[in-house]
Structure formats: C-alpha cells, structure tokens
Structure 1
Amino acid sequence: MFNLRDTPCPYDNWVATARKSCNDPDRYHCLNDEFSRPGWICADPIWVEADWCPKYNTTTKKITEVKCYGSNCPTSIYLSSRSHLYEDCRSEVKTSTKFPFSSTQSPNNGSASVSIGVLLGLIFGILGLLLVTFSFIFYYRRKKKSKSESRDPEERKAMLDISESDNKTALGRSCRALRTERFVVITGIQGAGKTFLAERLYEKCIDCEKVWIRQLNQFPEEYDQHGRISYFLDDLFYELQSEEEVKEVKNKIDTLYERTVVKGNGQIILTITSLIWRRHESLFNERKYQNFIDLDQLCSEDREDILKFHMNLNNIVLGSKKSDDSPCSVVMKHKDYDRFSKESNQDFDSHVKIGIGIASSIALFCQYRNRYFVTERFSRTPLSFLHYYWKDVIEVNWTGATVILTLIAIQKEELDVNRVDQMCLTKIREMENIHNVEGFSSEELEELEKKRIIEKTDDDKYRFLVSTDKKVLLRMILQKHPELEEFCDPEMLRRRVYRPESLPGDIKGDYVKTFVFKK
C-alpha cells in the first residue's frame, strides 16, 4: 500500500525510518506518485536506468520510471530503493498535462478538418513510434534478465547456508545480496566489523572453494570459469591510499568479477573502508557496487548480537550477578547495555569524528570492562581512552609483556614467537634499558590471552584481539621511539604513517589517533 505523506521524504533520517517502516529495510521506498505527491511503500526494488528516477504509479500499483532532469541525476543503473542518494531524484516529479498540438489553435475554420487530419496523423505516428520503442526496451530487458538468470538459482543458493527469513541483520542481508548478484560490498569505517562479517560469510559458504585475498599479488593469474569459488577480498583499500592506487585495485576487482562472476560460477565478497567508498564515489557507480551493506548503520538486532557475544567472551553479566554466575564475572549496568544496543541516528561525519565503528567500540568496552573500571566517556570517545591507556603502558618500566605487545604492533602480520627479529629485540632492550627479558615466557603470553588483549591463531601465532589496539599502540611506540620504524613492515607504514600535507581532509576528529604523524 502506498502511504501518502504530508511532509517530504525523510532524507536526513533514511536508515532509521526504513527499519521502522519495513521488516526488510532494503524494500523501503519514499518517492512521488504520478501526481507529484510524496509517499512511502515497502516493495521489491527494481533496476532503474541512468538518467531516470523511480516513481509510484497509483493506477498500476507499481514502481515505474520517469526521466530525470538536472546535474545530479543517476549516472549508471541502480536499485530504486537507492534513489534517495541522487539529489535530482528527490525533487518533485514533473509531469505535463498539456498536449503539444490543439485543433482550437487554428485561426481558420475552413482548414479545421485539415488540421484535425494532420493532428490525428501525428498522434498515430507518435503512438506507433512509442510502441516500437517500448517493445524494443521490453525485449532488451527481458533478454538481459534471462541472461543474468540463465544459471540455476538453486545452484547459487547452495553456496550459502543461512535461513531465508533473516532479512534485517547485516549477515542475512549480505547472504541475500550474494544470492541475487553473487557480488556484495561491505562498507564501514575502521572497526565497523567488515572483516568479522566477511569471516562469518566465509563460514556460511558451503560446497565451494574459498579464497581469501588481502594483497594484489594474491589475485589469480588464471581463472577457473567453471569452478564454484568464493573470493573474499579484504583490506585491499585503506584510508591513506592515493586515487591511482584505488584505481589499480579496482581494475583487479573488475577483471576478477568479469571472469569469475559474469562468465563463471563464482561469487565475490569485498570489504571497503567508508572513507574510500565516499571519497571516490564516482569510481564505484557501476551496478555491481550498488549491492552493498553499510556497517556504519547497524540495526538494534546486530548491536545486541555483538554485545552479547563480547559479554559472554569477557565473562560479563547484565544488571547483577546470579547464583549460577561465575564469581569472577563482571557486572554491566543497564544504561551501558542500552547505550550500545540501541540504534543510533548519528550521521557519517559523527562516526568519522569518533573514529571507530560500533563493533570495535563494543569489543573494546567489554574487553577493558573485564579488567578495569571504564568511565561513561569511553562510549563517546573510545580512541581517546585507548590513547591514554597505551601511553601509560609504554611510559612505565617495560616488562616482557610490553615487549611482546610492541613486537606484535610493529609487524604487519601475526607474531611468531619462535621467529622474532633479534635485532629489533636488541634495539628495544637498549632503548628501554631492559636487562631481564631474554625470551617470552608462556605465562606472560597466557596472561595477555586471559586479559583478552591478544589471541592465538590456529598456526600458533599471536595477534591483537581488536586491531584498533594495534593501531593506537603503534602510534604511541613510534612517537616515543621513531628508530623502530626501520623494523616495521613497509606496507604497514604506507597504511599508517602520514605527513601533514598528505593527510586526506576526511580523516578528522579522533580518527587521526590511529595514524602516525611524521615530521
């Protein structure tokens, strides 16, 4: 049912309104009808051509298209539910009730019959031309649709193991997006949970080969167009990346898409940081990139799932302890729970200024809540909290645990305690005047794991449980000991170190605290 509105569509509060209005927010539309009246409806989106806007036809009860006029019209094919992203599709639909010719305009009654004849001829000629044009468009779209559906849809569904009814959570929407297009983009600022969601999709993929790609040199040179392969493209884009580097990565992705999705039976899951996604919006205006999941706007169900997961992981109970709770458990107040679990109406700039996504904020809050008293300020400025915490750690007398964390922070990958760079270790001992640290005791590693600061991987290496800890600690270490830069991975330095003139303008607020300033 098309619900008329007395006010314009909620462009400033779109995500929250969509979730309240429709069970599946991806079906929410707010657009004009043929009488230029705004209204909303929950309906399956249609594909709209470039330079056209969707409108609702109250007679046919369907979403149709109308020509877009202006400088901010869509430049490529897109889903009708995304029309609010284009400014000229937000304006009123312009319809004309005037017919271009009228017999009453004839100044000569004697020529009325001639004018009427000419007019009728023009009318039938135009109608015939329109009929041919619409027939061609209908044929083209049917052909295009049949081509995209030529492969068995049941075969595509078999590659994912998830309930069909989950249409609201990020995981459920990602799976549905993969089933329809076999290509999905996961966007979000740092710490939004992009890699975590990709890993959950990795677990859900069944009966197919799974390939994880984090570097350009890991892209395949040869493509199996008949194989059922799921490609997970993670962390290929980063905030300090130049436009030329972004284009290079995108070209690799486009080639992989053409050869494994369009011409093959594969599927692609791609993660992109929101800053790159928005900074280079014109590069990602192709149809496949519009099939995206925005983790900067999580629904309450997602937030609660994340919160409960980390509460359980860190032995945290809500409200008060019960008789069957562990004596070591920590209590979380209801107001803290509500603050993290309720949906937020913050705009993107607010997310950037906070500098960290809600997923990592929750993980860090639970992690530190398990060890220390965490003030309410943490939920507002988590990176400032981390900044001061790690600064205190490296300013006091260093222990074996401090050395372990330093070595993990300055490496791009995980730390293998059996293959430590001895020159780096010697340098750290000299700078901090450490004489009692020769190796890494299992007790120290176990204690760091118990505190949920680091975790042990399947191949017996160690990494930070939350990557934001690593980024902030790296900043603190290189500010105190810039000499350690020579032991850092070059790729990591390219991603985390900046000079004043090279910092993009969209990195602001606390977001800057995860990068290393170099004079």
Structure 2
Amino acid sequence: MTKYPFSSTQSLNNGSASVSIGVVLGLIFGILGLLLVIFSFIFYYRRKKKSKSESRDPEERIAMLEISDNKTALGRSCRALRTERFVVIIGIQGAGKTYLAERLCEKCNDCEKVWIRQLNQFPEEEVDQKGRISYFLDDLFYELQSEEKVKRVKMEIDTLYERTVVKGNGQIILTITSLIWQRHASLFHERNYHNLIDLDQLCSEDREDILNFHMNLNNIVLGSKKSDDPPYSVVMKHKDYDRFSKDSNQDFDSHVKRGIGIASSIALFCQYRNRNFIPEHFSRSPLPWLHNNWTDVINVNWTSTTVILALMAIQNEELNKNRIDQMCLTKIKEMENIQNVESFPSEELEELEKKRLIEKTYDDRYRFRISTDKKVLLRIILQKHPELEEFCDPEMLRRRVYCPESLPGDFRGDYVKSFVFKK
C-alpha cells in the first residue's frame, strides 16, 4: 500500500494552528485577568482612602481647616465651604454670626440663595431642587428652647443636609449661639457639624472688620492716636480696664466677665451717647449693664417715644404706622396713664433713626438695628407689664426673650476703646 508524504505534513500543520490559537487565547485571558486585578486593587484602594477620610476624627479635620494661610473668619468660612459644603458658625450674642453669613452670601454668585429663619420656612420634602441652592439657616436655635425643640430643629436641618449636600450639589451655612452649642453638645456629634467657625475666637483682623462695620453703621470713627483733638484711641486688656473702672465714677459693671459681641456694644455706646452720657472709654459690656440701661429707659419716663419702642418690641419686632395694633396701644396707655399718643409723629420716628436705635425698611416699616436691644427691651416690658404678653406672637416670644445667665462665664480677650463721633 502506497503512503503519500503530504498527509503527515497536513496533520502537523493542523496541530500547530491549534496550539497557536490556544496560546493567543491564553495570553488574551491572562491580560484581561491581570487588568481586572489591577482595576479591582485601584477601586479598593480609593474606597478605603475615602472611607478613612470620612471617618477622620473631627479634631483632625478642624486642624486641617486651620492650616489655611487666610486666618480671617471669612477666609476660613470660604475654605470650609469648599471642603464640606456645610459650615457651622457659632458665637455669643452680637459676635457677628449673621454678619459673617451675609458676607458669605455675597460671595455665592453662582447659585440661588435662600434664607431660613423660622422652622416653617424649610422647603417641603417633595419639592424638586433644581440648580444649585445655598441655604442660610440663621438663628433657628434660640436660648430658651427645650431639648425636644432643639432636636426637632436639628432633625429638619439633617433632612435638608441629606437632600441638599449629600444627594445634591447645594451648600448650607448654619448659625448657632455658643450657649446652644455647649448645652446640647451631644446632639451635634456628627462629623459635618464639626466643620466649624468659632467667632468667640476671633483674630485681630476679624475684630477690626466687625468693629469698623458697626462703627460706620452708627456714624462713629476711631480717634486719632497723634493728637488729643479728637481724643486718641486706646486699647486695653482686662487688668487695665479693671483698674480704670475702679478709679472712675462711671457706671461700669467691670467685675462681671460675661460679654456681649462688638455689634451689641456699639449699639449700647450709641444709647449712652443719645442720653448725653458718653463714657470716656468703652468695652464690650456685660449684659446686666445693658439690661439696667433699658430698665432705666422704660421705668423712669414713659413718653410717646417709649411707646413706639415698646410697640416695636411687642409687634413682632417691627412697626408699621399704617397697621398699629390699637388694642395694644390702648392697653399701654392705660397701664402707663398716657393721654396724648394717638398717632406717631414722623419727627419722633426720625429722631429714633438719628439715634441709631431703629432703621426704616424699604416698605416703610421700622425695626431695631441690633437684635440684642429688642430681646432685652421685650424682657423688661413683659417683666413690668405681663398682661402685654397676650399681644405677642408666641413663636417670637419664645425666640426673643433671653436669659442673662446664658452667656459664657469667662469670655477672654475683651477690648476697651474710645470713640469720636463723625460731624
């Protein structure tokens, strides 16, 4: 039987082809497997790094925020917003929390800006948030709130945070008084609440910034250091201030270390100026002093001007000449035996404006310039005439009546300055 040589050659070629295809397929699957392992490792590493970052201790995150070259509160707030898109601003009354929030608002140019100052102003859950929104939650926590109400407000904030920051691309700026922050510290343990700007610890540039703002608002300038006309400006620490106040006959309550913010102190200075009493030196005052000042105004001499201030404090902090609560007005007149207050002359309102106690809004309403004034004044009025409480909005009453014991017992770094009024 004859054997043809080409048959064995064909078998060898077929075998070689099969081996080549197997090698190629093996290399392909090997490369794909290697790539899969590499991508899995990268994904795992990134996820672990993100998890580690999110679980970082709040103190470490706070330290990170303080590394910035910009040491001012505004600079730190802007950096904190870029880091977390949720910033908490804390400070005592009058420290400048709302002022700082308003400055942050001015810098938010690429989004819709929404201010929320009452619980009923929170957006409904089913509302679809279109575009980028910046929420400014101002003064939602007030000093006489019970713990249950603090929890309720915080729950609303947490819900808004979940929708706006976690699931959306918006941001939130929240202001809280130092009292609420310290009294309910256990409620604010979550990491996002420790992206914090503490206005009780201001740098000198912040102090001057807030000081200049309120001095301009109240038409005051610092005295010159080079001449005695006008008087020069002085800066003193506690020990020097204590020595000065002990040696003077001025009405300073220097032994009390509770302080109010620069904004409130400027307002108080203006009140003394308008009563022809101008201390040579001036400090961020203890709240009892402010309380005594307004007590004198209310108790000594009730006039049509005093009635205006009382109505402004009672009528949800604003006065509309065209919508006076006549029943409340009549009640005040009866209790203080006042006969000639049928209407409010424009000249008296203008005089209060000149004294920087009130300001006129765009819709012809009048309101107090400084929130601490209206809180203290309302408290004094209701202490003297509890019957007027029936004319107060209950929510406003709970929010605005303050307790003097709420401020920090030892607030360091107080300054004392002298001022000259603009001509």
TM-score for both structures, normalised by structure 2: 0.72
Query: Alpha carbons of 1:451 and 1:496: their partners in 2 closer, same or farther (altered >3 Å)?
Result: closer
Residue 313 of structure 2 is aligned to residue 409 of structure 1: yes
* Corresponding position: 1:182 with 2:89: no
Equivalent position SS for 1:458? coil
Q: 2:106 aligns with which of 176, 189, 203?
A: 203
Q: 1:496 to 1:446 in 2, by over 3 A?
A: closer
The answer (yes or no) to whether the contact 1:275–1:506 under 8 Å persists in 2 is: yes
Q: Does the CA contact (< 8 Å) of 1:237 and 1:276 recur in 2? A: yes
Question: Residue 224 of structure 1 contacts residue 264 of structure 1 at CA under 8 Å; is this kept in 2?
Answer: no
The unaligned stretches of length 5 or more in structure 1 are 1-133, 148-164, 324-329, 341-349, 512-519
Query: Is the CA contact (8 Å cut-off) linking 1:318 and 1:331 kept in structure 2?
Result: no
Give the superposition deviation at 1:228: 0.7
Identity %: 79
Q: Distance in 2 between matches of 1:390 and 1:252?
A: 36
1:61-460 equivalence runs, <5 A? 138-143=45-50, 167-221=70-124, 222-320=126-224, 333-335=232-234, 337=235, 354-365=258-269, 368-369=272-273, 372-375=276-279, 379=283, 381-460=285-364
2:25 corresponds to: none
Aligned residue in 1 for 2:29: none
Give the CA deviation at 1:237. Answer: 0.5
Distance 1:384 1:293, change over 3 A: same
More relative contact order in 1 or in 2 (CA 8 Å, sep 6+)? 2
Contact 1:239 1:275 in 2 (8 A): yes
Q: Is the 8 A contact 2:357 2:368 kept in 1?
A: yes
SS of 1:185 mapped into structure 2: strand
Aligned equivalents of 1:308, 1:507: Cα separation in 2: 24
Alignment check: 8 A CA contact 1:364 1:466 kept: no
CA deviation after TM superposition for structure 1 residue 372, in Å? 3.7
Distance verdict in 2 for CA 1:372–1:384, change over 3 Å:
farther
Q: How many residues align?
A: 343
Structure with more of its chain in helix, by fraction: 2
Q: Distance in 2 between matches of 1:416 and 1:315?
A: 25
Distance in 2 (CA, whole Å) between partners of 1:178 and 1:444 is 45
Aligned pairs (5 A) from 1:430-509: 430-496=334-400
1:461 Cα offset (Å):
1.5
Alpha-carbon deviations, 1:228-281, whole Å to 9, x = none? Answer: 111111111111211111111111111111111111111101011111111121
Q: Which amino acid aligns with 2:94?
A: G
C-alpha change, 1:205 and 1:136, in structure 2 (3 Å) is closer
8 Å contact from structure 1 (residues 210, 229) kept in 2 = yes
CA shift in 2, pair 1:405/1:506, >3 Å: closer
8 Å Cα contact 1:185/1:270 also seen in 2: yes
Scaled by the length of structure 1, the TM-score of the pair is 0.59
State the Cα RMSD in Å.
3.6
Quick check: 2:288–2:404 contact (8 Å CA) kept in 1? no
* Separation in structure 1 between the aligned mates of residue 272 and residue 196 of structure 2, nearest angstrom: 32
C-alpha offsets along residues 143-170 of structure 1, whole Å, 9 cap, x if unaligned?
Answer: 55999xxxxxxxxxxxxxxxxx972111
Cα separation, partners in 2 of 1:359 and 1:207, compared to 1, 3 Å = same
Aligned residue for 1:104? Answer: none
Give the 3 Å change call, closer, same or farther, for CA 368–200 of structure 1 in structure 2. Answer: farther
In 1: Cα distance, 2:216 partner to 2:226 partner: 15
Change (3 A) 1:189 1:445: same
Contact 2:262 2:284 in 1 (8 A): no
